Amino acid sequence: MKAVILDAASLGPGIDLTPIRQHLDALDVHESTAREQLASRLAGAEVAIVNKVVLDGDTLAALPGLKLICVLATGTNNIDMAAAERLGIAVRNVTAYGTASVAQHTLMLMLALATRLPRYQRDVAEGRWGESPFFCLMDHTTLQLEGKRLVIVGQGELGSKVARLAQAFGMHVDFAARPGNEAHDSRPSLGELAPEADVISLHCPLTEATHHLVDADLLATLKPGALLINCARGGIIDEQAALAALREARLGGLAVDVLPTEPPRDGHPLLDALNEPLNLIVTPHNAWITPEARQRIVTLTADHLRHWQAD
């Protein structure tokens, strides 16, 4: 059985593909693949292994030998799923590979915002510590997490892991009802929980129900010192409204690991605002990139190959 990895560079350096190779007769590895290269590279392959390469209906229809698509990620929006089903091509994605990594990153962002790290780092870099009349700087009020209330949207494996880590700091944790299903969910809605939240952390998919879930109206109900963290998908918060609230001191801190368009080749207002003295952090969608998490993707993909072959 032959497989082709179309965008191996997306896994980053130092990843061992041996677990995948063990289930194959041949494996072609390409660091990246342009659309016009798909047909030639997948010719004769039974398995396509992709991360972000788009496999649309026309491409799939032109590959009669293709039997399986393994996605090196959770999201399958780059695959024409309807066409794959119609053509009898199985699609397997990976889930929960980065739980520890993303949860760790989320807590890092929470701690950095709570201690006003962006503000104090700027002050130190600008020489303000050396100008202080006494031994420390206390210009920005910090937040002690113990005893504070964390509201999490998304009670899956990742959200639950974040909850356990936060509880280790002595935080009280509430999970919000699934957006769009509040009428059939026993948990309070985000709107009900938001006014008492000291921190809101998002760990839900981007859907019609979660697009701009945190909008200007919801932001207006928050405590002025509340912290907002998005390690889910760009667009779940209204970034422009959140930035306005931060600038106007109606929001205590904002940290995002995701933006609506990635990479942000045309820029984004949050990136521009990093030059301002705000409690703002933007990380480049790298919450998941620990070597352990990236290697786990390979292990889970090898498991998919093994199970598919056994069926």
Instruction: Tell me which residues are annotated as active site.
Output: 233, 262, 285
Query: In degrees to the nearest 10, what's the CA dihedral of 156, 104, 300, 12?
Result: 140
Edge-to-edge, what's the strand order for the sheet holding 68-71? 26-29, 2-5, 47-50, 68-71, 90-92
Number of helices (H) and strands (E), helices first, in the chain?
Answer: 12, 11
Which two structure tokens, joined as six digits, stand for 119? 């503000």
CB 229 within 8 A of CB 106: yes
Q: In Å, how far are 21, 41, 101, 158, 206 from 12, measured between CA atoms?
A: 18, 21, 15, 22, 25
Q: Tell me, what amino acid is at 259?
A: L
Q: Quick one: residue 140, left, alpha or beta (phi over 0 = left, psi -120 to 50 = alpha)?
A: beta
Residues whose CB is less than 8 angstroms from the CB of residue 65 and which lie 6 or more positions away in sequence, other chains included: 43, 44, 45, 46
Cα–Cα distance between 309 and 209 in angstroms, integer?
A: 37
Whether residue 64 is preceded by a cis peptide bond, meaning omega within 30 degrees of 0, is no
Round to whole Å and give the CA distance between 152 and 165.
12
Residues in contact with 233: Cβ distance below 8 Å, sequence separation at least 6, in sequence order: 205, 206, 210, 258
What are the CA-CA distances from residue 277 to residues 172, 173, 231, 304 (Å)? 30, 30, 22, 48
